[in-house]
Amino acid sequence: MSQTKQNDVGFLSCLLHVDEDAPRESWCHMKPLIPWKKPSPVPHKPSQDSWPYNEPQARASHHHSGVFPRNGQRGALNPRPLFVQPSHFSSRSGSQPPRQQTLDSSQDLRRTKLHQLLTDIHHTSLSAQPVDIARAVFKTSINLLSNTIFSLDLFHSTDSVGDFKDLVVKIMEESGRPNLADFFPALKIIDPQGIKTRNTGHADKIIHIFRRLVHQRLELRQLQCDRNNDMQNTLLNTHEMNPTKIEHLALTLFVAGTDRIASTLEWAMAELLQNEKAMTKAKQEMEEIIGRGKPVEESDIGRLPYLHAVIKETFRLHPAVPFLVPRKANADVEIGGYTIPKEAHVFVNVWAIGRSAVWTNANVFFPERFLESDVDVKGHSYELTPFGAGRRICPGLPLAMRMLYLMLGSLLNCFNWKLERAMNMDESFGIALAKAQPVRVFAEKVTC
């Protein structure tokens, strides 16, 4: 029986070898207890450095990896301890040197994938068909990850990506669905709503793909003709990892990473398409700084403040994980005058924070608000934490930010966009904040 079937805890926890004795709650019964108070200023460096190149490193060498949990640690979607000392909320950057070189070394791969995205869109534009932005970006993110881990493209056409995307979205939906079994643990065996059964089924379909890839690699290694220098090889050389763990780790990364990048980019495009002034400004900035019709390079990123502001503003209004991952209080704690009893689960409603009175004209898409501001998304500024904060901040943040810059910047600079029909900005709420209606737009290539 697969690891996924053995455990009946929340979906991703299954993948991460959860301790059988660990609490088995999932998202559903969390109390919407959301103490929000603007924190006293946290020392925070101005962002005139070459952000995001000097992001804190991924958490691999942290005392707990988050990606490689030790036995007994809970996985990604189970409640995390609710830390209360300010130091627990501070970023890891103080204690760890940035590991930007690691990300820099895979720059060529991102450039290749970006060019494939632009070529796909150009081809679609030549056939006078609208582009489904989220789907096109999803394919790019999937293939980027699959190349990083397995050295191959998982998908060759944007059409074929649909089923895989559906599976990822379904997994996120099921993980966020209220589950009776969390209120009445005795029901866990029965799985009254079938949530666990369905999620196991979805996960198994994805795991099946990865299992085939891992086994092919093991065969190559046996024949001593494996020339790949990728994450899979590194993991296979690590004693702590075995094929099952690698398959589950890959599943975690694919589920946690790909759809969030796609949905953030889709929201950014949706907002810009609604907002001619912001669209023109973003395009103008790129035309002036990198030249008309050219794709964005990673070395351009620090030179595009308006693009940077557009991405932050998108995160403020449309955080891809609107309630983060739930926290659980290990003891009675007081935060901002609210008492949170031991064992309580806490949602951090970043969606509501993004639209609260902390912001002027909070419901208006206005990237300019970030131009002279130190607020960033790296977990220092509690008014904007789309990646979470503290020890469990998203380990994919540096990669996600680079991908968003490259893709959004290049889509804007290389094409002019026209909506297929009037934009519907409705949201579909769950663990992930998706657009209810996909953004479908006609692209017209910009000539250099």
Residue with tokens 């495009």: 269
Q: Is 388 in the site for ligand HEM (CB under 6 A)?
A: yes
- Using CB under 6 A, which residues numbered 59 to 88 contact ligand HEM? 66-67, 76
Q: Give the interface segment with ligand HEM, choosing from 278-286, 352-360, 392-400, 413-421 (CB under 6 A).
A: 392-400
Beta carbon of residue 349, minimum distance to ligand HEM (angstroms, whole number): 12
**Total site size for ligand HEM, rule CB under 6 A:** 25
Site string for ligand HEM, 108-147 (x = CB under 6 A): -------------------------------------x--
Instruction: Work out how close the CB of 213 gets to ligand HEM at its nearest, in angstroms, rounded to a whole number.
Output: 17
Shortest reach from residue 37's CB to ligand HEM, in Å: 18
Region of 49-57, 89-97, 110-118, 318-326 interacting with ligand HEM (CB under 6 A): 318-326
Beta-bridge partner residues of 310: none
- Could you give the CA distance from residue 368 to residue 383 in angstroms, rounded to a whole number? 16
Please report whether residue 393 would count as binding ligand HEM according to CB under 6 A: yes
Choosing from 52, 295, 354, 395, the residue that interacts with ligand HEM (CB under 6 A) is: 395
| Residue 274 beta carbon to ligand HEM: minimum distance, rounded to whole angstroms | 20
Stretch that binds ligand HEM, among 41-49, 117-125, 233-241, 389-397 (CB under 6 A): 389-397
| Minimum CB distance to ligand HEM smaller for 125 or for 164 | 164
Q: Which of 118, 131, 324, 439 binds ligand HEM (CB under 6 A)?
A: 324
* 400 lies in the binding site for ligand HEM (CB under 6 A): yes
Among 325, 407, 411, 434, binds ligand HEM (CB under 6 A): 325
Rounded distance between C-alpha atoms, residue 194 and residue 203, angstroms: 14
Q: Give the shortest CB-257-to-ligand HEM separation in angstroms.
A: 3
Phi, psi of 109, rounded to the nearest 5 degrees: -60, -45
Residue 225 in marked binding region: no
Nearest approach, Cβ of residue 404 and ligand HEM (Å): 6
Residue 67 CB, nearest distance to ligand HEM (Å)?
5
Of the candidate residues 154, 353, 399, 433, the single one contacting ligand HEM (CB under 6 A): 399
> Is 171 one of the binding residues for ligand HEM (CB under 6 A)?
no
Considering the rule CB under 6 A, would residue 346 count as an interface residue with ligand HEM? no
3-state secondary structure the chain: CCHHHHCCCCHHHHHCCCCCCCCCCCCCCCECCCCCCCCCCCCCCCCCCCCCCCCCCCHHHCCCCCCCCCCCCCCCCCCEECCCCHHHHCCHHHCCCCCHHHHHCCHHHHHHHHHHHHHHHHHHHHCCCCEEHHHHHHHHHHHHHHHHHHCCCCCCCCCCHHHHHHHHHHHHHHHHCCCHHHHCHHHHCCCCCCHHHHHHHHHHHHHHHHHHHHHHHHHHHHCCCCCCCCHHHHHHCCCCCCHHHHHHHHHHHHHHHHHHHHHHHHHHHHHHHHCHHHHHHHHHHHHHHCCCCCCCCHHHHHHCHHHHHHHHHHHHHCCCCCCCCCEECCCCEEECCEEECCCCEECCCHHHHHCCCCCCCCCCCCHHHHCCCCCCCCCCCCCCCCCCCHHHCCCCHHHHHHHHHHHHHHHHHHEEEEECCCCCCCEECCCCCEECCCCEEEEEECCC
CB of 35 to ligand HEM, least distance (A): 16
Is residue 257 at the binding interface for ligand HEM, with CB under 6 A as the rule?
A: yes
386 binds ligand HEM per the rule CB under 6 A: yes
Binding residues: 394
- Positions in the binding site for ligand HEM (CB under 6 A): 66-67, 76, 145, 252-253, 256-257, 260-261, 264, 320-321, 324-325, 386-388, 392-396, 399-400
Binding residues for heme: 394
